[in-house]
C-alpha cells in the first residue's frame, strides 16, 4: 500500500461505523481540550491503532537524526532527554499515554533532543502527511493538538521553575502531583495512585538532583506519610500535603473542569 | 598540598550525619557525608555533599572510603581548568 493510500484509508470521512475505544488515551486527552465529533474520534482511533510494543530504554529518535514522523505514545512512559559530552543527562519532559512529540517536527532538519522509552511502551509513528491532513481537515482535532502543544510548553516552563527555584523535596513533590493529574486525564491513574516505572537515577536526571538527594527526599516523603512507593506503584497518601509541599497548582495544564487533583 | 579532614555532624535533613570537612592548605574545599543504611548498597560510602571551587561537581561519584574521596578531591584541585 502506498503512503497516499494509507493516508486515504486513515483519514477517509466515508469510513465504516465510527468505532472507538473509550479508553484510547489520545482521544481522552484531545477530547479534554475540546469537544470532538464521532468522526473525529474515529479518525484518532484509526491513527492510533496498531501501536508497536517497544521495550524500555529504547531511543525512538535520537538527537541529530532527521525526524521521521510524529511519535505518539499510547501506553507506558517515555521521555525527552539531552546528553552532555561527559555523559550527564537531563530529562526535559515525560511523555505519558496520549502524548506526542512536536507536531511541527517535520519543519526541522535534525532532532535537537532524544526521545526514549522509560518503560515498555506502545508507540505509533504517524507519517507527516497524515498529520498535515489531520490538521487541515479536522479543525477540532487540530485545535486540541495545538492546545496540547501549548500545554507541553507550559509544562516545560514549570519544570524550569522546578529545577531553578524549588528545593529537592519540592521538586519531587511537584513532579508527583503533575503526573497524578496528567495520568488521571488519560485514565492511567486512580484517585491517588499510578504506575511509576522510573528508576531513582531517571528521577535524579529529571529533577536535576543527585541520586543521594532523590533518595533522601523520597525517604522524607515516606517518613511524613505523604507517599508510598511499592515496587513500581506510587501511592499518594496525603494529596493535600504533597500539593502544599510543591505549591502545586494545575492551572498550567489547562484542564478546565477536569482538574480533579 | 596538605589535606586535613575534620569530623563533623551535618544536618542533611536525613539520617546521613557523620561527615568530614575537607581542608586544603587551611581552606575548606569540600564537605563529605557518610551515607546511612537508608541508601542500601551504598550505605557506609561517602557522598560529596558540597564541593567548592574546582571541587564543585554535581555528578561527582560516590566514594567507597575516605581515601578514595581524598584522591578524587586532590585530582580535582590539581586539574588546570578555568574556575567559574
A18-151 CATH, one of 3.90.1150.10, 2.60.120.10, 3.40.50.2020, 1.20.120.640: 2.60.120.10
pLDDT tens string A75-120: 999 999 999 998 899 999 999 999 998 888 888 899 999 999 999 9
CB pair distance less than 8 Å for B14 and A86 = no
Other residues' Cβ atoms within 10 Å of the Cβ of residue A139: 11
CATH for A167-258, options being 1.10.3720.10, 1.10.10.10, 3.30.565.10, 3.30.450.20? 1.10.10.10
Locate the chain A residue with the closest alpha carbon to B40. A215
Does residue B84 belong to any structural domain of this protein?
Answer: no
* Mutation to test the A interface, candidates B34, B59, B60, most A Cβ within 10 Å: B59
> What phi and psi values does residue A187 have, to the nearest 5 degrees?
75, 25
What is the model's pLDDT at position A107?
87
For chain B, how many structural domains are there in total? 1
Partners of A41 in beta bridges: none
Our CA-based measurement puts residue A223 at a distance from the nearest CA of chain B, in whole angstroms, of 10
Do the domain assignments include residue B26?
yes
Neighbours of A64 (CB within 10 A): 10
Residue B14 Cα, gap to closest chain A Cα (Å): 6
Domains A18-151 and A167-258 equal at CATH topology level: no
What is the spatial distance between Cα A69 and Cα B18, in angstroms, rounded to a whole number?
Answer: 53
Nearest CB among A208, A212, A219 relative to B47 is that of: A212
Structural domain containing residue B31: 3-78
Check whether A18 has a pLDDT greater than 60: no
Buried b (16+ CB within 10 A) or exposed e, A230-261: eeeebebeebebbbebbebebebbbbeebeeb
- Residue A21 pLDDT: 76
Nearest-CB residue to A215 (from B38, B58, B59): B38
At A14 the pLDDT is: 45
Whole-complex ipTM: 0.89
Q: Domain residue spans in chain A?
A: 18-151, 167-258
* pLDDT score at B2: 85
Radius of gyration of chain B (CA): 13
Position B83 in a domain: no
Amino acid at each position: 500500500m502506498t503512503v497516499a493510500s494509507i493516508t486515504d484509508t486513515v483519514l477517509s470521512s466515508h469510513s465504516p461505523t465510527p468505532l472507538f475505544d473509550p479508553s484510547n488515551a489520545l482521544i481522552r486527552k484531545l477530547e479534554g481540550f475540546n469537544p470532538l465529533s464521532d468522526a473525529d474520534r474515529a479518525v484518532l482511533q484509526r491513527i492510533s491503532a496498531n501501536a508497536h510494543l517497544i521495550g524500555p530504554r529504547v531511543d525512538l529518535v535520537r538527537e541529530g537524526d532527521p525526524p521521521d514522523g510524529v511519535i505518539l505514545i499510547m501506553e507506558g512512559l517515555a521521555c525527552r532527554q539531552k546528553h552532555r559530552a561527559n555523559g550527564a543527562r537531563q530529562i526535559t519532559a515525560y511523555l505519558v499515554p496520549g502524548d506526542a512529540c512536536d507536531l511541527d517536527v517535520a519543519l526541522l532538519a535534525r532532532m535537537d533532543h532524544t526521545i526514549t522509552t522509560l518503560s515498555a511502551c506502545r508507540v505509533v509513528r504517524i507519517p507527516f502527511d497524515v498529520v498535515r491532513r489531520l490538521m487541515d481537515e479536522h479543525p477540532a482535532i487540530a485545535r486540541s493538538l495545538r492546545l496540547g502543544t501549548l500545554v507541553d510548553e507550559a509544562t516545560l516552563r514549570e519544570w524550569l521553575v522546578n529545577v531553578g527555584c524549588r528545593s529537592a523535596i519540592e521538586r519531587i513533590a511537584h513532579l508527583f502531583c503533575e503526573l497524578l493529574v496528567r495520568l488521571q486525564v488519560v485514565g492511567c491513574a486512580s484517585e491517588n495512585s499510578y504506575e511509576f516505572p522510573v528508576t531513582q537515577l531517571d528521577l535524579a536526571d529529571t529533577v536535576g538532583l543527585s541520586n543521594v538527594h532523590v533518595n533522601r527526599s523520597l525517604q522524607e516523603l515516606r517518613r511524613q506519610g505523604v507517599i508510598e512507593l511499592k515496587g513500581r506503584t506510587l501511592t499518594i497518601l496525603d494529596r493535600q500535603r504533597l500539593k502544599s509541599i510543591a505549591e502545586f497548582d494545575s492551572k498550567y495544564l489547562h484542564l478546565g473542569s477536569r482538574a480533579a487533583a | 598540598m596538605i589535606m586535613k579532614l575534620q569530623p563533623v555532624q551535618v544536618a542533611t535533613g536525613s539520617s546521613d550525619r557523620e561527615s568530614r570537612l575537607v581542608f586544603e592548605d587551611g581552606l575548606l574545599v569540600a564537605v563529605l557525608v557518610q551515607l546511612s543504611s537508608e541508601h542500601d548498597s551504598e550505605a557506609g560510602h561517602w557522598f560529596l555533599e558540597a564541593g567548592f571551587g574546582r571541587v564543585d561537581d554535581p555528578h561527582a561519584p560516590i566514594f567507597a572510603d575516605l581515601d578514595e574521596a581524598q584522591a578524587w578531591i586532590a585530582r580535582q584541585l590539581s586539574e588546570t581548568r578555568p574556575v567559574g
